Structure 1
Amino acid sequence: MVSATADPCAICLGEISRGQAVFATWRDVPAVEQPVPAPAMPPPRAYADDDPVAQAAVQAPEVGEMALKTHCEFPAVARDASCDSFAVLVHATAPGAAAADAEAPRAPLDLVTVLDVSGSMTGNKLALPKQAMRFVIDNLAPPTVLAIRLVRMSDDGKASTKRAVESLVAGGSTNIGSGLHVASEVLADRRYRNAVTSVILLSDGQDTCIRHRDFTELVPLPFRAAVNRPGPIHTFGFGSDHDAAAMHTVAEVTGGTFSFIENLAVIQDSFAQCIGGLLSVVVQDARVVVECAHPGVRVREVKSGRYESRIDADGRAASVEVGELYAEEERRFLLFVDVPVAEATEDATQLVKVRCTYREVATGRAAVVGDDAVVQRPAEVTDPEASVEVERERVRVAAAEEIAAARAAAERCAFEEAGRILHGQLYRVQVSLESAPGGDPMLDALEEELEELEECMEDEEDYERVGRARVLKGLSSHAQQRASYVAVRKRSASKRERERAPQPYMTTTMESMVKKSQKLREEHPTSPPPLPEKRKRGSDRS
């Protein structure tokens, strides 16, 4: 550590002692009309308490290899028949972590937390995020570093960080762009870098400094890049007055998830779920590559959500950029290929060769796994049995697309149309559930999600209060195939029923961290602020 000389905070402009972790908060930051020219040869910037993580002994957990499997829409196609847009499911699964307990090795993490401490964050609205941050701090360990002044999570680092958290007070306006800009500078200027990097953004209000509704302008340029991005920004909007569209855009542009925390008491649980995932990153730079094996096969389309995909001009190859995966996370992508007529002597057609290249976080080693999609070619096929896995993914993708269509209708106040869209998709999910032997957790969760969305799109009041945020939360989760927190599920259900409700994309380490948070909240309860009353139709936002 270095000497404790005073240093001004880049956001609130107050004095901060070196050696403390300061969270990115936004307040009344002076506006700068014209940029000040930089010196010709600026000195290198680095934070004096940027701890040398390279000397830390803790390593990421060593795990097994990824699993990759393909599923054909039907196991067989008649030899003299051809198929356009034949579905092939690519299913990639990250290896599981060795253990989910607190003593197990975890992925080294650089984490910057951007907390809204504007004037609306008074009383428990600030006390609850502070409590959540204490939980986060307690569950981090070296070489993980946290906060604006990057501090390694040793005992001393945790103590100084907690003091910084407790010193936060509410006041001023909400300037999300400024907070994220400082977070970006911190990550750019750090001297030591851990394998995993992320930013967490929490806000209860609307950005009062943005001049237009292009929310991508809130995202610093390095985070908008398709390659060499510092890391994702995971956003958390809580209460009915936060700007869900802005928070969703920030997450979407950066590859993060957007969570809607309707029940303010569970802010800690939502942070716990996110941290549980970030600490279990086992795979980075994952990329799925598809090559057509048979000369007559062509790739027509790839359904990959928010993951960037491309198809070669001749349709003979395709790829999907997957990126980071938490332990046990799964990614499913639908390929649609053209299957040609088979030769008279052809008993099977090898459609595509699929490979997934990736880098192990624990060792830095490059690895590759693969599988081939093959369809049988008998003389004739009667009553073919469709793949349950492919049908399930078709339903999930269709649900995500219909949720987006319902949102578009609601944004133009066509709530009856939005309801019809959701109800129609709900019926299709229920039909699929009836044919699913033993049920299906993903379809169960989809059914519940569609029912809740239909309820909160009945009129403008409900949509503005909670509907938009719930819709965007769902779109974020499905586009990334990653869990984002569900704070309220079926108000009529009991607490036990809500906690046991199916949580899409939840991994073991995320679930373990959430249960730990829930147990602590039960042992040390903090009274939450009252839920906001429903505003009358046409009333102004506070």
Structure 2
Amino acid sequence: MLEIGLTMKKLKLKESTCAICLTAMKAGQGHAIFTAECSHSFHFHCITSNVKHGNQICPVCRAKWKEIPFQNPASDISHGRQRINAVGWPRDDTWMTVLRRLPPARLDTNRHIPSLYHAQEPPIFDDDETLDQQHVIAERDVSIIDGVGDPNSVGTIEIKTYPEVSAVSRSASHDNFTVLIHLQAPVTSGRHSGSSNNAELPQMSQNSRASVDLVTVLDVSGSMAGTKLALLKRAMGFVIQNLGPSDRLSVIAFSSTARRLFPLRRMTEAGRQEALQAVNSLISNGGTNIAEGLRKSAKVIVDRKWKNSVASIILLSDGQDTYTVTSPNGTHPRADYKSLLPISIHQNRGTGCQIPVHSFGFGTDHDAASMHSISEISGGTFSFIEAEGVIQDAFAQCIGGLLSVVVQELQVKVECVHRNLHIGSIKAGSYRTSITGNARMGTVDVGDLYAEEERDFLVTINIPVDRSIDQMPLLKVGCVYREPITKDAVTLEGASQVWIQRPEIIGAQVVSMEVDRQRSRIHAAEAMAEARVAAENGDLARAVSVLESCYKSLSETASAQTGDRLCVALCAELKEMQERMANRQVYETSGRAYVLSGLSSHSWQRATARGDSTDSTSLVQAYQTPSMVDMVTRSQTMLLGNPSSHRKLRQALSFPAARPQPR
């Protein structure tokens, strides 16, 4: 008989939750309890179904098992037993009959691995693992190869411009004339076409994308105990398994204090195993000290000796910060994170030092305002995870973007061409803009773009009377940025120019649909911000009125009248926000977080996760890129039973829903 490393127990156990079916495990009710070598326990029927489909890793901590249970060929269905459990996932009530021993993970015996939990932290976090030299060589090779035919080459940014109308009478002026600037990042050619096999989803080659330094800051306070912590471990396991050998990860766990579990380490096979073990060891207790966790994560990034091209922080918390700042009357704590956090986390656009913090508010008791503030300060996004079950999908969407960065330090440049033109405004959400040169030049600092990610900015100018020309040149638009793989600077001077006709007499004008829909998007975002201010001031009636007024206005626009998907989605979002502002309790519980995650998404034009009252397991897929979609699909089809019966996210409308067509 083989030595059994995974033991099946029918003894009296302390009540716990099976991480696969998420129902309680109790001995003595005819259910075998299966405990793995990583110490996690499951219903035996759940884990054998998992193994039957080829999964060889722990569903909770993602540790690779050395020994795996197998099914008895005889099936219980022959005895008429039902295989579907209470939550609709399949299970097989069979017994383990054989174990297969797998070879252990190969660890680098030449590298000393200190104790993850008892070793004293160094004063300077310069103990990060050296970068993968083979990958560095590969990146250098990419930079010297002609891009034509190179499978790892990345194209240039696409720039299109759209005037609101195509002609203005030469004898008339037009104030606040709007021009849309549309950008789309290049596709990474290393990303292959989709596969019909969910287990073999498309994934970019490591050499076709920039490597990432990622620091995750995880709340392990007492309120995370139980299912929350189990789901967090599983989500982190997914992140670890999807990082490449040239990506590096460090994990900060915080409760009353914060501790670095391990330095930035490459996610090789050995690195993954060590990371999984560290995450698996997490226990929940104590208070919530978000600022200390962020300070330590910033120190990891700042002190590192080696630097990957992309660096980011992921923060997750389910509670209020109880250690940083307390209001004078001792009530609800409110942290001024801009003054508390190191300058390295702030938006230092144009310096290459920006560290975006993508924050995730978990559940209904987190401090959405503070977490949104952290992300806004740093140039990251704020996501609201209302339903516990979608935490892994939310993380997947985020890393799907981070693992596809193709443009860095992007700055868009706008210049007036006609001598009498001046720029009135540049509407770019949270991106920093500047207007210089006697209002004849303007810039937008965009920063990083993911593969195929899009950005839309509206520029207004005042068009004067001019009877001397038949055509008027308005603007020329270009950009400068850095390619993260080759490190080369790219300059696109005057990549797109805007002209309008100046006839003596013009007939009825048709407003550009592209401009109209982006006006609607900005109008909706401004209404959301105004409603949020009213709600925070206690005037929910006014907040609902602002949203309703915007809804009616958007419904009457030209793009909405044609059934434009973006406008339809915006109207649905405005209605959702109205429902979440129905009363103070609803607003405090979920409305504030939902609105703030929406504002974060629209202001950065980047996907965030949000709760949904009609389907609590959905992510709002606004601004999702193909790489994000691929990663979320990978998360949803992980083998935790039968893939076909795994949870599905509701297919929400994507922003932008349609590609602008050149005129």
* Superposition TM-score, scaled by structure 1 size: 0.86
3-state SS in 2 of match to 1:147: strand
1:177 aligns with 2:177: no
2:501 paired residue number: 376
Moved more, 53-62 or 126-135: 53-62
Q: Which residue of 1 aligns with 2:229?
A: 126
| Residue number in structure 1 paired with 2:544 | 419
Give the match for residue 329 of structure 2.
none
Deviations, residues 200-225 of structure 1 (Å, cap 9, x unaligned): 00000000011243232343221115
Shift of residue 504, structure 1, vs aligned partner: 1.6
CA distance in 1, matches of 2:515, 2:376: 26
8 Å Cα contact 2:235-2:392 kept in structure 1:
yes
* Bigger shift: residues 55-64 or 212-221: 55-64
Q: Does 1:80 align with 2:204?
A: no
1:240 shift after superposition: 0.4
Cα RMSD, aligned residues only: 2.4
How far apart in 1 are the matches of 2:287 and 2:646?
25
SS in 1 for 2:638: helix
Give 1:224's aligned residue.
346
Paired residue for 2:369? 245
Aligned residue for 1:318, secondary structure, equals strand
Structure 2 counterparts to residues 161-176 of structure 1, below 5 A: 161-176=275-290
For residue 102 of structure 1, report the CA deviation from its aligned partner: 2.5
Indicate the residue corresponding to 2:247 in structure 1: 144
Cα displacement (A) at 1:362: 2.5
AA partner of residue 359 (structure 1): R
Q: What are the Cα deviations for residues 338-386 of structure 1, in whole angstroms up to 9, with x where unaligned? A: 1111133x11110111111111222222223310111110111221110
**Alignment partners' CA distance in 1, 2:188 and 2:340:** 35
Q: Determine the structure 1 residue equivalent to 2:415.
A: 291
Provide Cα deviations, 1:87-111, integer angstroms capped at 9, x if missing partner.
0111111011221623533320000
Partner of 2:628: 510
Give the alignment of 1:267-346 within 5 angstroms. Answer: 267-312=391-436, 314-344=438-468, 346=469
How far did residue 433 of structure 1 move?
A: 7.0
1:155 to 245, 251, 269: 269
Corresponding position: 1:467 with 2:591: yes
Offset, 1:55 = 4.1
**Kept in 2: contact 1:419–1:454 (CA 8 A):** yes
Contact residue 344 and residue 355 of structure 2 kept, 8 A: no
In structure 1, how many angstroms separate the alpha carbons of the residues matched to 2:614 and 2:387?
A: 12
- The one-letter amino acid of 1:205's match is G
Q: Is the 8 A contact 1:181 1:220 kept in 2?
A: yes
Give the structure 1 partner of residue 186 of structure 2: 95
- Asked if structure 2 preserves the Cα contact closer than 8 Å seen for 1:62 and 1:362, the reply is no
Q: Using the alignment, how far apart are the partners of 1:489 and 1:274 within structure 2?
A: 22
User: What do the CA deviations read for 1:59-108 (whole angstroms, capped 9, x no partner)?
Assistant: 59422111001110110000111111100111111011221623533320
Which amino acid counterpart does residue 297 of structure 2 have in structure 1? A
Q: Cα–Cα, structure 1 residues 225 and 66, in superposed 2: closer, same or farther, change >3 Å?
A: closer
Structure 1 counterpart SS, 2:603: helix
Q: Does the CA contact (< 8 Å) of 2:435 and 2:442 recur in 1?
A: yes
Following the alignment from structure 1 to structure 2, what is the Cα–Cα distance between the partners of residues 232 and 128? Answer: 24
Amino acid corresponding to residue 51 of structure 1 in structure 2: T
Report how far residue 172 of structure 1 moved: 1.2
Distance in 2 (alpha carbons) for counterparts of 1:260 and 1:338: 41
> Counterpart of 1:53 in structure 2: which amino acid?
D
Tell me: CA distance 1:71–1:53, structure 2 relative to 1, closer, same or farther (3 Å): same
Q: Distance in 1 between matches of 2:565 and 2:640?
A: 27
Alignment CA distance shift 1:421-1:137 (3 Å):
same
| Match in the other structure for 2:641 | 523
Equivalent residue number for residue 191 of structure 1: 305
Q: 2:484 aligned to 342, 361, 365, which one?
A: 361
**Helix, strand or coil for the counterpart of 1:56?**
helix
**1:10-60, Cα deviation, whole Å (9 max, x unpaired):** xxxx51499xxxxxxxxxxxxxxxxxxxxxxxx994543523334436659
Question: CA separation in 1, counterparts of 2:641 and 2:575?
Answer: 33
Query: In structure 2, what is the equivalent of residue 52 of structure 1?
Result: 131
Question: Is this contact kept in 2: 1:124–1:527, CA < 8 A?
Answer: no
Please report how far the alpha carbon of residue 485 of structure 1 lies from its aligned counterpart in structure 2 after TM superposition: 1.2
Q: Tell me if the contact between 1:47 and 1:150 (Cα under 8 Å) persists in the aligned partners.
A: no
| Aligned mates of 1:116, 1:362 — CA distance in 2 | 33
Match of 2:318 among 185, 204, 220: 204
What percent identity do the matched residue pairs reach?
Answer: 43
- Greater Cα offset, 243-252 or 46-55: 46-55
- What is the alpha-carbon distance in structure 2 between the residues aligned to residue 247 and residue 400 of structure 1? 19
In the alignment, is the contact (CA less than 8 A) between 2:361 and 2:384 conserved in 1? yes
What is residue 450 of structure 1 aligned with on the other side?
574
Query: For 2:558 and 2:508, how far apart are their aligned partners in 1?
Result: 21
Quick check: 1:293–1:351 contact (8 Å CA) kept in 2? yes
User: Any idea what SS the aligned residue of 1:202 has?
Assistant: strand
CA distance in 2, matches of 1:110, 1:307: 23
The Cα of 1:452 is off from its aligned counterpart by: 0.7
CA distance, structure 2, for counterparts of residue 72 and residue 140 of structure 1: 42
Alpha-carbon contact 1:53-1:193 (below 8 Å) kept: no
For residue 396 of structure 1, the aligned residue among 521, 533, 543 is 521
Match of 2:511, SS state, is: coil
Q: Which deviations, in whole Å up to 9, do the C-alpha atoms of 1:240-282 show, x marking residues without a partner?
A: 0000001100000000000000001100000000000000000
Structure 2, unmatched stretches of 5+, are 1-107, 143-151, 193-201, 252-262, 327-333, 648-663
Q: For the Cα contact (< 8 Å) 1:433–1:444, is it kept in 2?
A: no
1:522 deviates by: 5.5
- Map 1:478-489 to 2 at 5 A: 478-488=602-612
Task: State the shift of 1:435 in Å.
Answer: 4.5
Are the aligned partners of 1:119 and 1:170 in contact in 2 as well (CA < 8 Å)? Answer: yes
Deviation per CA, 1:315-359: give whole Å up to 9, x if none. 111111011000111111100101111133x11110111111111
SS in 2 for 1:523: coil
Larger radius of gyration: 2
Q: What code does the residue aligned with 1:355 have?
A: G
How much has 1:482 moved relative to structure 2? 0.4
Cα distance in 2 between the residues matched to 1:5 and 1:386: 64
Q: 1:423-453: per-residue Cα shift (whole Å, max 9, x none)?
A: 111122223376554x333223212211110
Deviation at 1:412, TM superposition (A): 1.1
Distance 1:522 1:44, change over 3 A: closer
Q: Who is 2:42 aligned against? A: none
What amino acid is the match of 2:522? V
Which digits, 9 at most, give the CA deviation of each residue in 1:489-527, with x for residues without a partner? 5239xx7xx57xx72211000011001101117638999
* CA distance in structure 1 between the partners assigned to 2:410 and 2:437 by the alignment: 23
- 2:126–2:303: 8 Å Cα contact kept in structure 1? yes
Question: 2: CA distance between counterparts of 1:450 and 1:66?
Answer: 32
Tell me how far apart the structure 2 counterparts of residues 104 and 385 of structure 1 sit (CA, whole Å): 45
The farther-off stretch of 262-271 and 482-491 is 482-491
| Separation in 1, partners of 2:583, 2:399 | 36
Q: Which amino acid aligns with 1:353?
A: K
Aligned residue in 1 for 2:118: 15
Which letter maps to 1:419? V
